[in-house]
Amino acid sequence: MVIRVAVVGATGRMGRLAQRLIDESDDLALHAAISSKDSLDALAGADVVFDVTVPAVSPGIVNAALDRGIPVLVGTSGWTAERITTLRRRVQDAAPGVVIIPNFSLGSALATAFSVLAAPWFDFIEIVESHHAGKVDSPSGTAIRTAELIGEARANVGPVAAPHADQRARGQQVASVPIHSLRHDGLSARQEVVFGGTGETLRLVHDTHSDASYEAGILLGLRAAANTEGVIVGLDRLLDLGLPR
Provide the annotated active-site residues.
Answer: 131, 135
List helix spans (H) across 68-184: 81-91, 106-118, 141-153
DSSP state letter for 44:
T
CA 176 from chain center: how many Å? 20
CA–CA gap between residue 90 and residue 94 (Å, rounded): 9
Cis peptide before 139 (omega within 30 of 0): yes
Written as one letter, the residue type at 8 is V
Written as one letter, the residue type at 147 is A
CA–CA gap between residue 129 and residue 140 (Å, rounded): 7
Residue length of the chain: 245
The neighbour count for residue 45, using CB atoms within 10 Å, is: 11
DSSP state letter for 159:
S
Contact call for residues 178 and 172 (beta carbons, < 8 A): yes
